[in-house]
Structure 1
Amino acid sequence: MTTYKSVFWLNILSFLLVLALILYTKSFGPSAGVLFSPPIAPKAISIGLLTHTFQLLCAVPAIVCAFSFALLRTIQPRRKENVFILCSALVTGGFLLNEIFRIHIFLLVQAGVHKLITSFVFASVAVAYGFAFKRQIKSTPYMLLLSGMGLLFFAIAIDSLKLRGDGLPILLEGVPKLFSELNVALYFCYVCYGEVLRSLNRKVDSSVNY
């Protein structure tokens, strides 16, 4: 019964948020219908294929970490590692939102905020995250995470150079970016899987000892 109540209130809250967004768009935008406008269909399936693949990969860490945190909080709510998984979900979720809604482009166009500034903010968040959970990260296969971050920063550096051309410059940015998220997704899948297993084993051991 508790599950149904939670789902009911989640639906109510989501409906109210959607309603507020519709009213806001209708007041300040051309039409509330633009909220449900379908994305522009490409002329060929290959157009943007790897870009969409990158965006799908961006969703993996956020979803996996959020779901794992929900499990960990149920299994052993007081473990310190739970905070690490929660913050990982928030950081990767923020990166996902930026990639889907192109927040850095919106800030550049609407507010004149240069992409280097937003990149610096994202880098600062990543460094703060690394320092805050240095001990937890050291106990994981962190080379996967470091390689992913390194490839991402390389792609950002290439983008900032504004190289001319539609071939090599795009590949120099796109390929490292794609593999960066692949490595990051694999890293968090491995970490979350391990944390859930350890939490379950500790709970079983404590039950047996008790």
Structure 2
Amino acid sequence: MNHKIINFPTFISWFRKSRRDFSRIPVLIWLNFLTIICLGLLSIYAEVRSKGQGIENLFSDPFEASVFYFGWLTSISEIMWCVAIAICGFTTALLPRADYRFRVFLSFSALLMALLYFDDRFRLTLILCTFFGAYRVVKTTVYLVYGSFLIIYARAFRQTIKKTPYVPLLIAFCLFAFSSAIDITPLGSRGIHAMLEDGTKLIGLINLTVYFWYICQRKIAHKIRA
């Protein structure tokens, strides 16, 4: 009994602190709420439709017991996407409103990279290919759309980009274009195809991530010195 009496005020204070912390980050309240709702609906659907295996598949690790290195380089590429997006998003939140143009540049950079990342991570283009049944046509169309986005992005922020050491960004764009071209080009060797497509994309992501890390670090350091 005494143990409960001692711990009860501790729980109340913890609850109050949690409420204060969450009230300072309202977006986290909504994200938690929406996630719980979605998981609840999935659980109900799985129970009604006897789709428990499908739910398990959603949370399964992409691991092949006989090939322990299965998907390692793909996972590294996905991590690089996330790092670049996080750098841009975090720097945008740190910079003052006076740096409006640079903040807009970083925001659109993060949005564009997020679009490419979600396609890469969740295989959205492959899903469209399966749905429409025209593999090369769909992929070519999607890559042309992404290419148009990159051109619009480069033209819209060309003045901001010119003030930065933009060669790594240019290299990344060229390697992404090369990777996309290889993806729709039939090659006999699977190893060569993977190296030319995914290997060049990985190098492009390294250049992209380091570019945004460098310009964001310099921008924040300049603000601190000022």
Q: Please tell me the TM-score bracket, short chain as reference.
A: 0.7 to 0.9
1:191 has 2:215 as partner: yes
Matches of residues 55-66 of structure 1 in structure 2 within 5 Å?
55-66=78-89
1:147 has 2:174 as partner: no
- Following superposition, the deviation at residue 48 of structure 1 comes to 1.7
Which shifted more, 127-136 or 27-36? Answer: 27-36
Measure the CA separation in 2 of the matches of 1:195 and 1:112.
47
Deviations along 1:5-51, one digit per CA (max 9) or x if unpaired, are: 133x3332112322343355455983573475222312323222111
- Following superposition, the deviation at residue 121 of structure 1 comes to 1.3
Query: Which residue of structure 1 aligns with residue 34 of structure 2?
Result: 17
Measure the CA separation in 2 of the matches of 1:119 and 1:77.
34
Query: Which residue of structure 1 aligns with residue 11 of structure 2?
Result: none
Measure the CA separation in 2 of the matches of 1:133 and 1:164.
40
Q: Go from structure 1 to structure 2 and tell me whether the alpha carbon gap of 1:84 and 1:20 turns closer, same or farther (over 3 Å shift).
A: same
Measure the CA separation in 2 of the matches of 1:39 and 1:164.
30
1:49 has 2:72 as partner: yes
Query: Which residue of structure 2 aligns with residue 68 of structure 1?
Result: 91
Aligned length: 198
- TM-score, normalization by structure 1: 0.83
Gaps of 5+ in 2: 1-16
Amino acid in the other structure paired with 1:14: L
Superposed CA RMSD in Å reads 2.3
Measure the CA separation in 1 of the matches of 2:28 and 2:77.
30
- TM-score, normalization by structure 2: 0.78
Measure the CA separation in 2 of the matches of 1:4 and 1:23.
22
Q: Go from structure 1 to structure 2 and tell me whether the alpha carbon gap of 1:13 and 1:149 turns closer, same or farther (over 3 Å shift).
A: same
Q: Go from structure 1 to structure 2 and tell me whether the alpha carbon gap of 1:178 and 1:163 turns closer, same or farther (over 3 Å shift).
A: same
Amino acid in the other structure paired with 1:158: I
Which shifted more, 103-112 or 79-88? Answer: 103-112
Deviations along 1:94-113, one digit per CA (max 9) or x if unpaired, are: 22212111111122223457
Fraction of identical pairs, as percent = 25
Measure the CA separation in 1 of the matches of 2:79 and 2:148.
24
Query: Which residue of structure 2 aligns with residue 40 of structure 1?
Result: 62
Does the aligned pair in 2 maintain the 1:144–1:184 contact within 8 Å?
Answer: yes
Query: Which residue of structure 2 aligns with residue 208 of structure 1?
Result: none
Matches of residues 1-210 of structure 1 in structure 2 within 5 Å?
3-7=21-25, 9-22=26-39, 25=42, 26-27=44-45, 30-31=51-52, 33-34=55-56, 36-42=58-64, 43-72=66-95, 76-79=96-99, 80-112=101-133, 114-201=138-225, 204=226
Measure the CA separation in 2 of the matches of 1:12 and 1:33.
24
Q: Go from structure 1 to structure 2 and tell me whether the alpha carbon gap of 1:133 and 1:155 turns closer, same or farther (over 3 Å shift).
A: same
Does the aligned pair in 2 maintain the 1:62–1:96 contact within 8 Å?
Answer: no
Measure the CA separation in 1 of the matches of 2:102 and 2:194.
39
Q: Go from structure 1 to structure 2 and tell me whether the alpha carbon gap of 1:11 and 1:36 turns closer, same or farther (over 3 Å shift).
A: farther
Measure the CA separation in 2 of the matches of 1:95 and 1:84.
17
Deviations along 1:153-208, one digit per CA (max 9) or x if unpaired, are: 1111111112122222221212211101111111111111122223333xx4xxxx
